[in-house]
Amino acid sequence: MISYSTKITSSHIKSDNALFQRTLKAYSITTNKTYGDVLEIGCGEGYGISLINKNINYLTVIDKSKKVLNNIKKKHPTTNILCQNIPPLSNLKDNSFDVIISFQVIEHIKDVKCFIKEIYRILKPNGKAYITTPNATKTIARNPWHYKEYNFTEITNLIKNTFANYTIEGNKKTDAYY
């Protein structure tokens, strides 16, 4: 049995706007940092694809929704789409991607250790992974779609157990507010 939770943030629903803007900001920050072969895990509607596609060779996206993936394929026909529940990251070879992005997904994953190990496995040596997640100590309300929201120490411990080299950054505007 596969256990998962999800919620796709819509760019069209007013009540999703704050979440949409947070994810869109992550895309804008990483746009100039994406290169080569890129994997986006949990692409949702695919509203970041046009930003990601600027500097890369090839894009693969993973989501569990066939509907959104079909829409992405229509808008971005050169994008490789994979429909699957994660983890594991089935059908992906070791050392396959220069950059992996996964925005606002890890909090929806039950087996996060497997998720991080799979990212490490399919990332090329010296590749980069960009992961965003809400900071549990700074969210106003809990999201019923989340298995776990992480604080800084928890996400650090999760990542340092797999990656030797990593950087964790926070949102400076949010930090200043709190």
Predicted confidence (pLDDT) per residue in 90-118, tens digit? 889 999 999 999 988 898 899 999 999 99
Question: pLDDT-derived band of residue 162, with 50, 70 and 90 as boundaries?
Answer: very high
Cis previous bond, 125, omega within 30: no
Q: What is the pLDDT of residue 152?
A: 83
Residue ranges of domains in the chain? 34-177
Q: Which of 28-32, 38-42, 77-81, 134-138 has the lowest mean pLDDT?
A: 134-138
Sheet hosting strand 97-103, strand order edge to edge:
80-83, 56-63, 36-41, 97-103, 123-132
b/e code 80-119 from CB counts within 10 Å (16+ = b) = ebbeeebbebeebeeebbbbbbbbbbbbbbebbeebbbbb
Percentage of the chain lying above the pLDDT 70 cut: 74
Query: What homologous superfamily is domain 34-177 in, according to CATH?
Result: Vaccinia Virus protein VP39 (3.40.50.150)
